[in-house]
Structure 1
């Protein structure tokens, strides 16, 4: 009997422990779960904060430069907005008259504006929202922009300031402006001349022709065409553009373009919020970008033997040797000068006013004061373009003066930034930010106004 009672008491006790006051209520279990989640979030935040703090000194160790949000964002913006890839263009296509143009179509629209708007490529292969074949009309001024990438950027982002400057004059106050962007990255003489002649033959009419060039003419040849024995007057990297029938060259070019696409994609990712504000993400982007750059360098280096291999005439053109570098740059500057003189004649015959501007560049001695941040971004003592600028620009200045003496409206803008200490360059090549483009536009506008019939009176 006692055993039965004991059993009943034991079972009641078990029920009490299972269902009684000691059992955790559902509300307490929910609170415990929330505490664990909150603790995990706090721990994750502390870990991220520690990584952010650690990334600050690590950035300097890994890159050799102090961390700067603005400098990194400018560097990424230039790459993310770049219209062309390595050695020419991701979307560039060989053209029978002007060397190459951009491939039209939705996939080749190029982000140009800082606000993210996309600038389309016209059916003629130029970065513009209108066709280049425009006709004169009363009350309208058609302005053609010619040159390389600096001119092309100007044709998108600088012409609004140019229009404002010109409309301050009675001659242009009530006129409608149409800007035709016929410039393209990498263009050098005689491509500007060939482009104007080609468009003129198709019926294009211009009231004003603005040619902004000089850098590509002296900076590119020794690095791109000379090692492959390509004729100096041929477009940049011509052997690669017409070498797609060569499986080795074609594969190398495709791989290079793929690496450049990756660098652009990473730049756009790191430029978006919230990643752009993270020191750690900036460090990850910088290391990844340097790795992709190194992969590109190794790929090019691995194909250096191609530069000593003879190519077909279509890729190399007539052979040309020079006694020394001075003779080479005299020849390159002569092509530039002769091209400008021919544009001057073509414009005069067709009733257009021609203005030629030698573009500013950071490697021209004493051309711009730079603070430490801009110098880190835009000036490299060992940059391969620097040698060409230092050797070629003095000759361009001299031949430009000679053009002026012959009647060409030539303007040397190499000193246009000389009194501007603010940051204007966005890369270590040659390109300017929006403020730099506006300064350029004002100088170009003043030159046009000073030559106008109204100013002459």
Structure 2
């Protein structure tokens, strides 16, 4: 039987249109798919190149740990561990202290991978105080100052093997080459003179041994006292910005409690956002979450500023002052700027001179470091990233008026035997981004530069005085 030719039925007009529509749809989907792929590629490549150029970091291979993040959180009063439960008492991590003004709540942050935690006296450190020397080979270094000094002390612990640290540079001094170096942090965010002087003398009085003391200050001494003055609080008292929320809580002041609750909500969001940032594997994810972190950080700092204004207004309420359980001296009136800044600088100068005298009597070397900041004009050219984060804040005017006076007065400290290390221009020739926020804190690269400069300066002074 012959094979019959297959009969192919002609396509109907409807079928032909449907086939053409299918081809068009596939082509359209292909174009859309290609465009989406290009958009996703651009979204990934642009931030990848940005971080590679600006921060010399390759996101995919960058080994990010939580140390830098936690340090950032600490500088704005955000503590990750404080968000682990619903205990309102843990949300406020600072406590009033009868001698030091305020400290951290002892026992917090014990899960730090380097062993750092808040010790028995409320300082973020490796050891409880007073630290008892275990053997004659131990060389004990005390670090005093504000949050920049805290960063310096932490860096010595978390990067102790790097050649730029103070510890490693001290090993180039023959007499110290084989010493076991112990870093004791007596600094805390917002501390200013005479707190360093008082804390030093307190610990010396209870038997704390020290072989070398580094005091890093300058910024807080002129940035924070103007807020005290606006609230008619003596500029010599601890930072009004830090003390007043704690005293208001102690007095159960409702507006302050509500403002702190709002700040705590922002803090919770910020911590969660940073946790997402830490888990990012793609540059686009890192860029988006970095933007969110910056926005929340600005919101938090804005809330801090609003709280400052509220506290100044409350401070002017005589009934609140009369009923307060905590006594804070009050000036009869706000001091004129010239008088206020002269007092600030006098306190700073006298405190450093007295620290030197106290330590000289015990043959303990003392080094006074004047820290750099972005608001005192130098020859530095700021990066675009730095300019973007330099928002208005309550510290700018104090630094612009106070730092020139402080530096001029500081030129006289060496005449009284004080080893002054003026680090104000240390970043001037560095092209990298060295400031990480609108306050005064440094990026990891900035911290490297700052630390190396201090270590090198101290070693040079020690070697020049060695017979």
Shorter-chain-normalised TM-score: which range? 0.7 to 0.9
* Residue 201 of structure 2 is aligned to residue 210 of structure 1: no
**1:312-348 deviation digits (Å, cap 9, x = unpaired):** 4745314164652122111011111111111112212
Equivalent residue for 1:81, pick from 72, 80, 91? 72
2:177 corresponds to: 173
1:94 corresponds to: 96
CA-CA distance at 1:191 after TM superposition:
0.8
Cα distance in 1 for partners of 2:310, 2:44 equals 34
Moved more, 323-332 or 250-259: 250-259
1:362 corresponds to: 374
CA-CA distance at 1:390 after TM superposition:
1.1
1:141 corresponds to: 139
Equivalent residue for 1:192, pick from 196, 201, 215? 196
Equivalent residue for 2:237, pick from 208, 230, 234? 234
Aligned in 2, Cα 1:287/1:124: closer, same or farther, shift over 3 Å? Answer: closer
- Count the aligned residue pairs: 401
Equivalent residue for 2:126, pick from 129, 133, 139? 129
Aligned in 2, Cα 1:153/1:90: closer, same or farther, shift over 3 Å? Answer: farther
> Would you say the 8 A contact 1:333–1:396 is kept in 2?
yes
Cα distance in 1 for partners of 2:290, 2:421 equals 41
CA-CA distance at 1:426 after TM superposition:
1.4
**1:84-139 deviation digits (Å, cap 9, x = unpaired):** 5559994111111111111122x44486xxxx767311122111111232345422
1:9 corresponds to: none
1:403 corresponds to: 413
2:457 corresponds to: 447
Equivalent residue for 1:351, pick from 348, 363, 373? 363
> Would you say the 8 A contact 1:132–1:182 is kept in 2?
no
1:277 corresponds to: 284
Cα distance in 2 for partners of 1:208, 1:82 equals 29
1:266-305 pair list within 5 angstroms:
266-274=273-281, 277-278=284-285, 279-282=287-290, 305=313
The DSSP-based 3-state class of the residue aligned with 1:452 is: helix
Cα distance in 2 for partners of 1:290, 1:56 equals 27
Moved more, 212-221 or 346-355: 346-355
Cα distance in 2 for partners of 1:280, 1:298 equals 27
CA-CA distance at 1:80 after TM superposition:
6.7
Gaps of 5+ in 2: 1-28, 80-90
**1:183-229 deviation digits (Å, cap 9, x = unpaired):** 11111011101111111122101011100001011011223x23332
Cα distance in 1 for partners of 2:282, 2:302 equals 24
Equivalent residue for 2:442, pick from 432, 435, 443? 432
2:8 corresponds to: none
Cα distance in 1 for partners of 2:111, 2:350 equals 32
The DSSP-based 3-state class of the residue aligned with 1:384 is: coil
Gaps of 5+ in 1: 1-39, 60-66
The DSSP-based 3-state class of the residue aligned with 1:428 is: coil
1:263 corresponds to: 270
Length-normalised TM-score, structure 1: 0.75
Length-normalised TM-score, structure 2: 0.74
Cα distance in 1 for partners of 2:138, 2:311 equals 52
Cα distance in 1 for partners of 2:397, 2:140 equals 37
Root mean square deviation, CA, Å: 3.8
Cα distance in 2 for partners of 1:280, 1:409 equals 46
Cα distance in 1 for partners of 2:200, 2:34 equals 59
CA-CA distance at 1:286 after TM superposition:
5.1
CA-CA distance at 1:424 after TM superposition:
1.5
* Residue 323 of structure 2 is aligned to residue 332 of structure 1: no
2:433 corresponds to: 423
Cα distance in 2 for partners of 1:221, 1:94 equals 19
CA-CA distance at 1:275 after TM superposition:
6.8
